[in-house]
Amino acid sequence: MASRHIRDVVFVDGVRTPFGKAGEKGIYHGTRADDLVVKTIRELLRRNPSLPAERVDEVSIAATTQTGDQGLTIGRTAALLAGLPRSVPGFAIDRMCAGAMTAVTTTASGIGVGAYDVVIAGGVEHMGNHPMGQGTDPNPRFMSERLVDPAALNMGNTAENLHDRFPAITKERADAYAVASQAKLAAAYADGRIQPDLVPVATRRPGEGFGLATADEPPRAGTTMEDLAGLRTPFRPHGRVTAGNAAGLNDGATACLLTSAEAADELGLTPKMRLVSFAFAGVEPEVMGIGPVPATEKALAKASLSIEDIGLFEVNEAFAVQVLSFLDHFGIDDDDPRVNRYGGAIAVGHPLASSGVRLMTQLARQFADDPSVRYGMTTMCIGLGMGGTVIWENPNHPDYGKGE
């Protein structure tokens, strides 16, 4: 069989719902997970009117807890609910926190080899309707045969383990990082950098009637070190991980439009990023937060790039200690302006399987704002001991497309 040319894959557009707090007091209590996905799909089509709906070749939607209103092969059901033609197929995918990231890399691979020209990829997590781990049944061999440390099944415990492994990452340093995340997100909102990619969502809360979600619910602008100092450490007595230096429990959905470079030209779509390389890697489950380090080393090697070539980083902030361990490994300062310029998950929220595309959407916005940056990276830790990294190129850079 003759070798096949691998085509360039471009990120054309990305949107998300505002992120809400999970639970009865959250904005999406009473809103279905699949309806959140539908809003993002419809918004992508509205924002890109030159794309005929029948040209969408696949819809890949991730969810970590695939049951109830985010089960039933949600990529297909959401496509039907969004009004896409019945000829458009869809599927569901799960890689825990990196679900949407994996939806992107999986369908991007299909574009690369010519199986697709246009895809929609994203993720959803309604942690209010489906708490993490709901309905799961971990095999007893994990414990009886000591295949993993018991801490591996609790994300907060894995973060405490990471603090143990890297004593230089103190609670005070993690708190300072969290305060900065809140401040950066507040500044991004003030500068209008977040709102353009949010799709308003009509909500209906039991007993309260209708509402309209237009902004993220979790942020706590003005958070100080003093505010965080007294928070309890729920995962360990006298621990270092708190609700203030970790992402919360959240609801939300994301989706993006990926195409081949040729299809973008044909359809009059303007790429916001080009996919350069991606990689996933496994680590000890009990310190899953270190996962972005080997994934990034792997992705850089595949692209023949070094960490110094990366001008912007979007690192998912499941826990401050996880980001700080990544920065320390690569010799990057805690307050390096290349890292999470618009804030991160500690401030904005982390609806598990949806977050990968939020990172991409924020990176694309920063690429447009800063044409001097050629390469950027989206990276995240993943439950059960993994990491994922995607490297992107900025089409606004003068050397775009000249090869790595």
Active site amino acids: 97, 350, 381
Sign of CA dihedral 20, 26, 27, 28: positive
Look up residue 359 and give its two tokens: 């990172």
In Å, how far are 24, 59, 172, 176, 230 from 226, measured between CA atoms?
Answer: 28, 45, 10, 10, 7
Answer yes or no: are the C-beta atoms of 56 and 75 closer than 8 Å.
no
Count Cβ atoms within 10 A of the Cβ of residue 81 and give its class: 0-12 exposed, 13-18 middle, 19 or more buried.
middle
DSSP-assigned letters across all residues of 335-350: T-TTB-TT--HHHH--
Give bridge partners of residue 269 from the DSSP assignment.
none
In angstroms, rounded to a whole number, what is the distance separating the alpha carbons of residues 90 and 75?
Answer: 4
Sign of CA dihedral 237, 239, 245, 248: negative
Report the alpha-carbon angle 101-193-81, nearest 5: 50
Give, for 15, the enclosing helix (H) or strand (E): strand 9-16
Cβ-Cβ contacts under 8 Å for 84 (sequence gap 6 or more)? 41, 53, 56, 59
